[in-house]
Amino acid sequence: VAVGGDGTTSVCVLAGELLREAEHLVEQGVHPQIIAHGYRKACKASIKALDSFAVDNSKDEKQFREDLLNIARTTLSSKILQQEKDKFAQLAVDAVLRLNLKENRGAQDLQAIHIIKKRGGSLRDSYL
């Protein structure tokens, strides 16, 4: 079973290929603004396609929480936190859900979540 990461390598490879293709187009005499316009158009089409696949689970508390945990785990799939990603995913989701999303209707202030760093100890000592 292959374990996926956070997508950093994939994004870098994709960006590199887009730049390589842009370079070829410039060498063929295509103006850079035309290339940028094409990339913006492709970006809009990609967002539209992704939106068509999106599922809103915000009304199902259990599924919504699971979705948030999956997003947090993916985001925390770096090599540094790999061993503790479940713990930190749980902490992140608990912190966000404490902001009472329903009452604020999405206007929650993520700045209310603070990270306090202390010397000594380990990642496992972290708590909310």
The predicted-structure confidence for 20-40, as pLDDT tens digits, reads as follows 999 999 999 999 999 999 999
Assign 110 a pLDDT band (cuts: 50, 70, 90).
confident
- For tokens 């292959």, the residue is 2
Mean pLDDT, residues 64-71: 93
What token pair was written down for 6? 């956070």
CA distances from 126 to 26, 91, 121 (A): 51, 9, 9
| pTM across the whole model | 0.66
